Amino acid sequence: MNKILSQDEIDALLATVTRKPEEPAATATPGEPSEIQLYDFKHPERISKEQIRTLRTIHDGFSRMFATYLSTVLRSLVDVNLLSIDQVTFSEYMLSLSVPNALFILKSANMEGKALLEISPQFLLFVVDRMLGGVGDIETPSREITHIEQNVVLRVIQTIISQLNEVWKQVFPLNVELDGFEADPQFVQIARSSDTLAIIFFDVRVRGATFTMNLAFPYFTLEPFINKLTAQSMMALTSRKVKEGEVTGIEERVRASRLPVRVVLADTRMNVRDFMEIEKDDLLTLDKKTTDPLPVLVGGRLKYFATPGKRSRLKAVKILRAITPDEEMVYE
Q: Indicate if the pLDDT at residue 32 is higher than 90.
A: no
246 domain-assigned = no
- Bigger pLDDT: 10 vs 155: 155
Tens-digit pLDDT profile for residues 93-126: 999 998 899 999 999 988 888 999 999 999 999 9
Cis peptide before 224 (omega within 30 of 0): no
Tens-digit pLDDT profile for residues 245-271: 777 777 887 887 888 889 988 888 888
Mark whether 216 and 299 lie in a shared domain.
no
19 domain-assigned = no
Cα–Cα nearest to 100, from 128, 141, 153: 141
Residues 178 and 159: their CA atoms lie apart, in Å, by 11
Q: Indicate if the pLDDT at residue 165 is higher than 70.
A: yes
92 domain-assigned = yes
Looking at residue 213, its pLDDT comes to 95
Q: What is the mean pLDDT of residues 135-139?
A: 80
The CATH number covering residue 314 comes to: 2.30.330.10
DSSP codes joined into one string, 236-247: HHHTPPPPTTHH
Q: What is the mean pLDDT of residues 22-40?
A: 53
What is the total count of domains within the chain?
A: 2
44 domain-assigned = no
Mark whether 92 and 143 lie in a shared domain.
yes
- Bigger pLDDT: 287 vs 183: 183
- Bigger pLDDT: 225 vs 150: 150
Neighbours of 33 (CB within 10 A): 8
249 domain-assigned = no
pLDDT-based confidence at residue 1 (cuts at 50, 70, 90): very low
Mark whether 64 and 126 lie in a shared domain.
yes
127 domain-assigned = yes
The CATH number covering residue 216 comes to: 3.40.1550.10
Question: Residue 46, Cα to own-chain centre: how many angstroms?
Answer: 25
Looking at residue 237, its pLDDT comes to 57
Q: What is the mean pLDDT of residues 167-180?
A: 90
Mark whether 71 and 164 lie in a shared domain.
yes
Q: What is the mean pLDDT of residues 9-37?
A: 58
Q: Are 177 and 104 in contact (CB under 8 A)?
A: no
Looking at residue 323, its pLDDT comes to 87
Give the structural domain span for 92. 49-240
pLDDT-based confidence at residue 50 (cuts at 50, 70, 90): confident
Phi-psi map region of 305: left, alpha, beta (phi>0 left; psi -120 to 50 alpha): beta
Mark whether 211 and 290 lie in a shared domain.
no
Percent of the chain with pLDDT over 70: 83
23 domain-assigned = no
Mark whether 100 and 171 lie in a shared domain.
yes
252 domain-assigned = no
Residues 102 and 184: their CA atoms lie apart, in Å, by 8
Mark whether 264 and 215 lie in a shared domain.
no
Mark whether 116 and 264 lie in a shared domain.
no
Q: What is the mean pLDDT of residues 175-186?
A: 93
Mark whether 135 and 267 lie in a shared domain.
no
Looking at residue 97, its pLDDT comes to 92
pLDDT-based confidence at residue 244 (cuts at 50, 70, 90): low
Looking at residue 49, its pLDDT comes to 85
